[in-house]
Amino acid sequence: MFAKPHCSVIAIEEHYWDPELASHFTGSEIGKGDKIQKRLEDFGGERIRDMDEAGIDIQVLSHGAPAGQKLAPDVAIPLMKRVNDRLAAVVADKPDRFAGFASLPTNAPEAAADELERCVGLGFKGAIINGLSNGEFLDLPKSWPIFTRAENWMCRFIFTPPSRMTRSGVPISRITKSSFRVSRVRPGATRSRTARRRSG
């Protein structure tokens, strides 16, 4: 039996699915079965009831994989805006129960940085990035604009590793799963990123 502490219990990486975004998924990404699909798209009775039974006060909602990480920029940029606007409306309807992590069009780094900044203005707590960005790691220099903008806004990221091999043959499942907070750099201080690590 879970003993509720004398503070709010906040659950992060709590997934949902946006039907329009999910319609772009292919292969094994398509569908989770009728029962799970219904739960992923639910923000009302069943999800709230489960939260109450588990002693969870707030869920930080984020879109399930692969979100926008495999989509071409011309599709992902406008689509991620619509997806995030719909999530913002869900959060606004139940601000005492939900918060949100943005979905980003990471294959267009500058546009992803702009969308991150826009979503911070909507009240989002950060962003989720699901696995590789069209097969590439996010530490490539071309992706740095996303993290530079995140640093300016002190944004948090959830990174979820994909369940396949990298191009170099390293099993992604062996890479540590992390939640990062990008820290502001003070004059004369060393640039740092803090992380809470858990096995992936």
Question: Could you tell me which residue, 127 or 5, shows the higher pLDDT?
Answer: 127
pLDDT beyond 60 at 51: yes
More confident residue, 89 or 28: 89
pLDDT of residue 197: 35
Cis, bond preceding 187 (omega within 30 deg of 0): no
pLDDT in tens, 116-138: 999 999 999 989 888 777 777 77
**Rounded distance between C-alpha atoms, residue 102 and residue 168, angstroms:** 29
pLDDT on residue 25:
75
Condensed to tens digits (0 to 9), the pLDDT of residues 91-106 reads 999 999 999 999 999 9
Look at domain 10-198 and name its CATH class: alpha beta
Instruction: Please give the model's pTM, rounded to 2 decimal places.
Output: 0.75
How far apart CA 120 and CA 123 sit, in angstroms, is: 5
